Amino acid sequence: MTQTSPTEASPNPTGEPEGPTRDLSGVRRGPLIAGERVTITDPKGRRHSILLAEGATFHTAKGAISHDDLLGGPEGVVVTSVGGTKYLALRPLMSDYTVSMPRGAAVVYPKDAAQIVMGCDIFPGARVVEAGVGSGALSIALLRAIGPTGRLLSYERRADFAEIAERNVDNFLGGRHPGWEVRVGDLATDLGEDAVDRVVLDMLAPWECIEAVGGVLEPGGLVCCYVATTTQLGRTMDTIRAHTGFTEPTAAEHIVRDWHAEGLAIRPNHAGIGHTGFLVTARRLAPGVVTPARKRRPSPGAYGPDYHGPRPPGVVSDPAGE
Ligand SMILES: C[S@@+](CC[C@H](N)C(=O)[O-])C[C@H]1O[C@@H](n2cnc3c(N)ncnc32)[C@H](O)[C@@H]1O
């Protein structure tokens, strides 16, 4: 999807967050107003994101569209470009916004953000820590789920990414969520001691943060790590096991397949999202409690001579690789 920035076709003269909403849900109702974003879709499904401004024009390959044709009216309307092409205009959903907003780092995809909110049991009023904040896509989903009474503490090592994320999140919500704090720093070393209910890690090396996370999670609280590769997945699982203060971690990949259904032509869509990532989840045990020893032996060769990572307690090197 193409996007106009405030300095391009659609200036945002106030510099205020786009489309202010009072409840910080990011959802607006009523007539379209200057300063908010709409997505227009052409007959081929090509989408453009427009920041509405009085008197502005959006230029497409099929001719210009006047913003004034949209302002003051409802969403869900069709506007016609000077060249005669019809465009459907709707306000972007959270899932549209997070994949089209300006990016510093790669974002958590909507299908995975949805699974994190459910699998990690993020609830209204929860105290949540996340790292890294990247572009802020997951922050938006977490802030919505914790609601106005929750607290989200977001760590990001890179100040430039933190800035992009803050802009994206504030723009979407229509202002600053009162319970959101962004700290520029490394979660592994800079996490304080305040107790939290949930921790979500989306970074290259979440295993470096497990010790710190174990120090702040409430008993029964969840940690969820989003990792892209199988090597990260294995190291994260074994580090959580080796910590001994968590339940046996679970690992899952969530696959969504869109379908084409038209008359007798009913089949999976040819195009779709490929691999995004894996989710590793575990719960914190009470202080001093150690994960009960597993009755099951590790898979043959799992911790053989080629394995050099952390070892769960009781697992010794297996020279035979059996
Ligand atoms: C894939 S991005 C996160 C994307 C973000 N969750 C989103 O949905 O937009 C990973 C980010 O983690 C940050 N990072 C990596 N290790 C970190 C650490 N130990 N503490 C804080 N931030 C970290 C990186 O700088 C990077 O911006």
Mark which of 35, 69, 92 sits at the end of a domain: 92
For residue 229, is it within any domain?
yes
Q: Is 189 exposed, middle or buried (0-12, 13-18, 19+ CB in 10 A)?
A: exposed
User: Can you give the CATH number for the domain in which 13 is found?
Assistant: 3.10.330.20
| pLDDT surpasses 80 at 251 | yes
- Contact (CB, 8 A) for 143 and 165: no
Contacts of 296 (CB under 8 A, 6+ apart): none
- Contact (CB, 8 A) for 203 and 229: no
34/99 Cα distance (integer angstroms): 22
For residue 63, is it within any domain?
yes
| Ligand 1 centroid to residue 168 C-alpha, Å | 15
pLDDT (0 to 100) of residue 320 = 55
| Ligand 1 centroid to residue 232 C-alpha, Å | 14
Ligand 1, atom nearest to 136 Cα: 9
Strands 196-202 and 127-131: parallel
Report residue 267 as tokens: 């089949």
The whole-number average pLDDT for the span 255-262 is 93
How distant, in Å, are the alpha carbons of 3, 267, 268 from that of 262?
31, 9, 11
Query: Residue holding tokens 């024009």?
Result: 57
- In which domain, by residue range, is 46 found? 2-92
User: Could you give phi then psi for residue 112, rounded to 5 degrees?
Assistant: -80, -35
> Ligand 1: which residues within 6 Å by Cβ?
105-108, 131-132, 134-138, 155-158, 161, 186-188, 202-204, 209
The whole-number average pLDDT for the span 161-172 is 96
Q: Longest Cα pair distance anywhere in the chain, in angstroms?
A: 75
Kindly report the protein residue whose alpha carbon is nearest to atom 1 of ligand 1: 106
- The terminus-to-terminus CA distance of the chain in angstroms comes to 51
pLDDT (0 to 100) of residue 9 = 32
Report residue 88 as tokens: 């459907």
| Per-position DSSP letters for 212-263, written without gaps between them | HHHHHEEEEEEEEEEESSHHHHHHHHHHHHHH-SBPPPEEEE-----EEEET
For residue 214, is it within any domain?
yes
Kindly report the protein residue whose alpha carbon is nearest to atom 13 of ligand 1: 132
Between 13 and 192, name the one with better pLDDT. Answer: 192
Ligand 1, atom nearest to 205 Cα: 16
pLDDT tens digits, 22-49: 678 889 999 999 999 999 999 999 999 9
For residue 288, is it within any domain?
no
Q: Is residue 276 domain-shared with residue 154, that is, in the same domain?
A: yes
Query: Residue holding tokens 């769960």?
Result: 312
What is the dihedral sign for C-alpha 316, 319, 321, 322?
A: negative
- Contact (CB, 8 A) for 172 and 162: no
User: Can you give the CATH number for the domain in which 178 is found?
Assistant: 3.40.50.150
Q: Is residue 38 domain-shared with residue 7, that is, in the same domain?
A: yes
| Ligand 1 centroid to residue 133 C-alpha, Å | 5
Kindly report the protein residue whose alpha carbon is nearest to atom 16 of ligand 1: 203
Report pTM.
0.89
Ligand 1, atom nearest to 135 Cα: 9
Q: Is residue 172 domain-shared with residue 250, that is, in the same domain?
A: yes
User: Could you give phi then psi for residue 175, rounded to 5 degrees?
Assistant: 155, 180
Counting the structural domains of the chain, the total is 2
pLDDT tens digits, 187-219: 999 998 999 999 999 999 999 999 999 999 999
Contacts of 137 (CB under 8 A, 6+ apart): 98, 99, 101, 107, 108, 113, 168
For residue 291, is it within any domain?
no
Task: Give the mutation target among 164, 167, 171, 202 for probing the ligand 1 site: most ligand atoms within 8 A of CB.
Answer: 202
Q: Is 206 exposed, middle or buried (0-12, 13-18, 19+ CB in 10 A)?
A: buried
